Amino acid sequence: MAPTNTIPSGASAAVLKPSEPMPDFAVSVEGPNFEKDLSLQELLESYKRIGFQANSLGKAIDVVNKMRKWRLSDEPIAEDEAEEYLSPEVRANTKCNVFLGYTSNLISSGLREIILYLVKHKHVSAIVTTAGGIEEDFIKCLGKTYLADFNLDGADLRKRGMNRIGNLIVPNDNYCKFEDWLTPILDTMLAEQKETGQVWTPSSFIRRLGKEIDNEESVYYWAYKNDIPVFCPALTDGSLGDMIYFHSFKNPGLVVDIVQDIRNLNELSRKSRKAGMIILGGGVCKHQIANAMLIRNGADYSVYINTGQEFDGSDSGARPDEAVSWGKIRAGSESVKVYADATLVFPLLVAATFAKSDS
Tell me, yes or no, if 328 is annotated catalytic: yes
d(CA 305, CA 125): 19
Give the end-to-end CA distance of the chain in Å, rounded to a whole number.
76
**Measuring CA to CA, which residue among 316, 141, 119 is closest to residue 230?**
119
d(CA 207, CA 216): 14
Query: Is residue 270 exposed (0-12), middle (13-18) or buried (19+ Cβ within 10 Å)?
Result: middle
Task: Please report, as a single letter, which amino acid is at residue 278.
Answer: I
Query: Is residue 91 exposed (0-12), middle (13-18) or buried (19+ Cβ within 10 Å)?
Result: middle
d(CA 28, CA 116): 38
Q: Which of 95, 140, 286, 328 is catalytic?
A: 328
- Output the CA torsion sign for 276, 279, 284, 287: positive
d(CA 317, CA 311): 8
How far, in Å, are 82, 107, 185 from residue 135 at the CA level? 41, 9, 14
d(CA 337, CA 349): 13
DSSP state of 31: -
Task: Please report, as a single letter, which amino acid is at residue 275.
Answer: A
Known catalytic residues? 328
